[in-house]
Structure 1
Amino acid sequence: MRDQKVNPYLALAIGVIAVSTSAILVKVAASPSGVIAFYRLFFSVLFMLPLFLLKYAGELRFITMRDWLYSIVAGLFLAFHFIFWFESLNFTSVASSTVLVTLQPIFAFIGTYFFFKERLSGKAILSGIIAVAGSVIISWGDFQISGAALFGDFLALAACALVTAYLLFGQTVRKRLSLITYTFVVYTISTITLFIYILAVNEPIIPAERKDWIYFILLALIPTLLGHTLFNWSIKWLSTSTISMAILFEPVGATIMAYFLLGENVIATQMIGGLVIIIGISLFLIDERKVKIKHMREHSV
């Protein structure tokens, strides 16, 4: 971690704050889920295009077939992650949907072990279990509310599995490509996928309301270009497990925003679950930091 100027943990923290706005913006938009997802990625690609063409387009010549394959798969997973998650917000609360879609450690721990042979300490696994328990506590309130809310929770959980797969494939490619090139390629693939999807399901390409254009642009600028791009930058220095754990902070920010901006009630299980999540993630990141420092000291001797 010596050859980068920005602390990856700081970048990760900023990214989490940025993506916390996503559920709020999706919730207030009137357009169908696929349309929201499409324009979110479309505007992200559009804003990146000038910089990519001026400085990074030449890198496309050096992308291997394997990198193209992994990038395409990552783009597909990202596209359907957005579709499933945005749709879940039509059935369940911002707090529960955001918690479940960020319930990535379960998949990330398994994925990084089988894909990259990464082993976690007992403390790290325990802290992950604590954080996951917090997510279960939050979503338990929806189980008691209605079957529709539970269906929304299942959609959010599917979106969680997809975004974890997106990060796993991205972890492989990102180490060999620049941030701008990798992000532009994956976002472009996702945009094309989402365009085909909305045509296939016959969703209207024109937004339901004019104000949705504002929400699309904000989704592109804040949670996508700032939030997800910082995750893509951090993944060169940090593992998918670490990023997945940190993203569990997102429900806390999203729940607070939903309370003040949307008037959503915060029930006791959500507050207790949120506190448990914070404790679990804090323990994980502290342990992860200690392991990295110890590893650096051993290699510097």
Structure 2
Amino acid sequence: MRSPAPTVAALAVAILAVSSSGPLIAFAAAPALAIAFWRNGIAAAALTPFAIGPRRAEVRGAVRNCAGVFSVLAGLALAAHFATWMPAVQLGSVATATALVATQPVWQGLIAAAQGRRPSAAGWVGIALAVAGAAWATGADVGVSAQAVAADVLALLGGIFAAVYTALGERARTELSTTVYTWICYGTCAVVLLAVCLVFGVDLGGYDGRTWAAILAIVAGAQLLGHSMFNYALQHTSATTVSVLILLEVPGAALLAWWWLDQVPRADALPGLVLLLAGVAVVILRPASFKVIRR
């Protein structure tokens, strides 16, 4: 069954919003872990009146059932995702880090297979085309420098943790509203990242006005619009489909980094972008690409 119009719109807004994340992180003159804390902490604070106000009963219920547990676990996975991918953006290039974290659908497909929802042949073709396109478009930094290699490894780990986060969120969203799930998840993520920052002495303040503006833009765009819209979509479509559509962040972030940060994409990357978009098109145009297969 095709996704309803509100879900399609939510996914479109989310993709546009998360595409700005990499360039803003690279632009901000602040430690990546601090940015990760602030984006989740501010977002959780903004959602608090809506979560503990009209949805107070739902929050109390979440504390007593598995949905709340899955929300907390999703928050832990999200913290691990941000703690790996965001430093990768600052250590390497926006395009490369974004492309490597876009391997998320591969791990998501394996998670779905373990849950008895193996991607069909068309689904695997879409994943293969999209990931191959992302790799072709941006390449890898292996052999360039030790810092570039570290960035690649961190971005790849970020993709794995993102898949775990999305899968856990899909389970939680079967019982919880977007507001309550997002509040618990972001709050958990912020607490974990705050602890990490304090333990390792990461500077949480003293930034200039442009950096704070970038952090607030990340909160409003990538966090509240981007991740929250993806969380909404998880109630209406599969985690694997969401993960593949997130691949559209790769060309979006690359174009923004080109326009804003002068990170000019290579001419030989264009065929890769075509492959990536073709893979996403397979998923969108073949709604049965990710079907439930009973074992």
TM-score, structure 2 length as denominator? 0.92
Q: Is the 8 Å Cα contact of residues 31 and 209 (structure 1) preserved in structure 2?
A: no
Q: CA deviation at 1:289?
A: 5.9
Q: CA deviation at 1:290?
A: 7.9
Amino acid at match of 1:273: G
Is the aligned partner of 1:263 residue 2:262? Answer: yes
Tell me the distance in 1 between the aligned counterparts of 2:266 and 2:59: 50
Tell me the distance in 2 between the aligned counterparts of 1:237 and 1:5: 8
Q: Is the 8 Å Cα contact of residues 97 and 151 (structure 2) preserved in structure 1?
A: yes
Q: How does 1:90-169 map to 2 (within 5 A)?
A: 90-115=90-115, 117-143=116-142, 145-169=144-168
Structure 1 residues 71 and 291: CA distance shift in structure 2, 3 A: closer
Name the SS of the counterpart of 1:30 in structure 2. Answer: coil
Amino acid at match of 1:98: T
The answer for the alignment partner of 1:69 in structure 2 is 69
Tell me the distance in 2 between the aligned counterparts of 1:17 and 1:287: 22
Q: Is the 8 Å Cα contact of residues 135 and 272 (structure 2) preserved in structure 1?
A: yes
Q: Is the 8 Å Cα contact of residues 77 and 165 (structure 2) preserved in structure 1?
A: yes
Name the SS of the counterpart of 1:143 in structure 2. Answer: coil
Structure 1 residue ranges without an equivalent (≥5): 296-301
Residues 73-94 of structure 1: per-residue CA shift (max 9 Å, x gap): 1101101211111110122111
Tell me the distance in 1 between the aligned counterparts of 2:52 and 2:5: 25
Tell me the distance in 2 between the aligned counterparts of 1:291 and 1:93: 32
The answer for the alignment partner of 2:14 in structure 1 is 15
Residues 4-29 of structure 1: per-residue CA shift (max 9 Å, x gap): 97431221121111100001110111
Residues 163-221 of structure 1: per-residue CA shift (max 9 Å, x gap): 11001111111110111011001111011111101001111121433322211211111
Tell me the distance in 2 between the aligned counterparts of 1:164 and 1:52: 25
Q: CA deviation at 1:276?
A: 1.1
Structure 2 residue ranges without an equivalent (≥5): none
Tell me the distance in 1 between the aligned counterparts of 2:97 and 2:289: 32
Q: CA deviation at 1:144?
A: 5.6
The answer for the alignment partner of 2:196 in structure 1 is 197
Is the aligned partner of 1:254 residue 2:258? Answer: no
Amino acid at match of 1:105: P
The answer for the alignment partner of 1:299 in structure 2 is none
The answer for the alignment partner of 2:88 in structure 1 is 88
Tell me the distance in 2 between the aligned counterparts of 1:269 and 1:157: 22
The answer for the alignment partner of 2:179 in structure 1 is 180
Q: CA deviation at 1:62?
A: 1.3
Tell me the distance in 2 between the aligned counterparts of 1:269 and 1:152: 22
Name the SS of the counterpart of 1:258 in structure 2. Answer: helix
Q: How does 1:22-41 map to 2 (within 5 A)?
A: 22-41=21-40
Report which stretch shifted further, 135-144 or 170-179: 135-144
Tell me the distance in 1 between the aligned counterparts of 2:248 and 2:260: 19
Identity across matched positions, percent: 28
Report which stretch shifted further, 212-221 or 228-237: 212-221
Aligned pairs, number: 291
